[in-house]
Copies of this chain bind each other. A is one copy, B any other.
Amino acid sequence: MSQPQYLTGQPEAIQDFLSKFDIFLFDCDGVLWSGDHLFEGTVATLEMLRGAGKRVVFVTNNSTKSRTDYRKKLEGMGIPATEEEVFGSSYSASIYISRILPQRHPELKQKPKVFVIGESGIEQELDSENIPHIGGTDPAYRRYVEPSDYTRIAAGDPTILDPEVGVVLSGLDFHYNYFKICLAYHYIKRGAIFLATNIDSTLPSAGALFPGAGTMASPLVKMLGEEPLALGKPSQAMMDAIEGKFKFDRSRACMVGDRANTDIKFGLEGKLGGTLGVLTGVSTKQEFLEGDARPHFYVDKLSDLLAKR
C-alpha cells in the first residue's frame, strides 16, 4: 500500500494535487465543520475550488434531510451552496429505486410502492422521483400494536399489508415503533426488497452519540438474518448514484473525508483518481498512514489547500 502524500505547507504539491481533479466529493461533519462550529477557511476553500472551475458535491449520509433541507443546513452554517451540489442518502435511495432497481429486479413493478421507516427527508426525495410510498411520517403508523394486528398481519389482510409494496426503505426514524417493525418484517417476508438509506450505528449530537439509522434496521436484520442493501457511504451503490447524476470521469474525482473506514474507503473502493484525508475529524494521522484504508493525500485541515502556489 502506498504512503499518503502530506500536502500541508507544500504549495507546489497542492497545485499539482488540484490540477488532477475536476470534481471534489465532500464529507461534511469533521471536514467543513464540527458539530455547530464552522472551521475557519471552509468557505474560502470552497470558493477557491469553484473559482478554479471545480465541481463540489456535499455527500451526506443524513437521511432525515432532503437536499432542500440540507442546503438550508449548509446555509445556516454559513456555507453558500445550491441544491444541485447536495447528495444525501435519501436521494441516493430514491435514485436507486427509480432508476437501478427496475433493471436489477425486472419482476418488480416500475416504481414499486415503498414502505418507509424514516422522516420527511426520505418522503420528499421519493416524491422528487415520483415514487409512491406509505409509512414514514403518516400518523396512522405512529401507534402501538393491537391484538387484532397479529391476526390481520398473519393473514396478509390487504387493509394492513398493502399488496403493492415492493420495497422496504429503512432510514433514521425518531418515531419508530414495534408496529412499524412488524409491518416491515412481513413486507420483506412477502418479497419486498430490503434497503437502508445508510447503516451508521450512531448519530452524533450535542457532543454525544445517539442511535443512528443502522439501529433502525437492526431488529429486522436480527429477525431475517439478512442485511439491507445500504445506499449511503461507504456503499458503492451511492457512488454509482452520484456518478449517474453528475456523469464525471472517476479518474478526475477526489473524495475528501475525515474517516478512513467510511469516507476514504468509499473513494478507494469507487476507484476515484484521488482521496484526501483531513485531520479535523475522527481519524488520526496514524490511521491515515498505517491503517487499512489510506488516503492518497492528507492535510492537517481543509483550508491548508488555500496555500497553493
- A: residues with CB less than 8 A from B are 144-145, 150-151, 153-155, 173-178, 181-182, 185-186, 201-202, 205-212, 214-216, 218-223
Question: Can you tell how many copies of this chain the complex includes?
Answer: 2
Using known A-B contacts A177-B176, A185-B210, determine if residue A201 contacts B215 with beta carbons closer than 8 Å. Answer: no
Question: Given contacts A185-B211, A215-B181, are A205 and B154 in contact (CB under 8 A)?
Answer: yes
Task: Identify the interface centre among A205, A209, A219, A220: most chain B CB within 10 Å of its CB.
Answer: A219
State which of B178, B210, B216 has its C-beta within 8 Å of the C-beta of A175: B178
Give the distance to chain B from A214, nearest Cβ to Cβ, in Å: 6
Contacts of A182 in B (CB 8 A): 210-211
Interface centre among A181, A202, A205, A222 (most CB of B within 10 A): A222
- Minimum CB–CB distance from A164 to chain B (whole Å) comes to 20
Contact check, A144 vs B175: say whether CB atoms are below 8 A apart: yes
Name the B residues within 8 Å of A185 (CB-CB). 209-211
A142 → B minimal CB distance (Å)? 9
Chain B nearest CB from A137 CB (Å) reads 12
A174 touches B144 (CB 8 A): yes
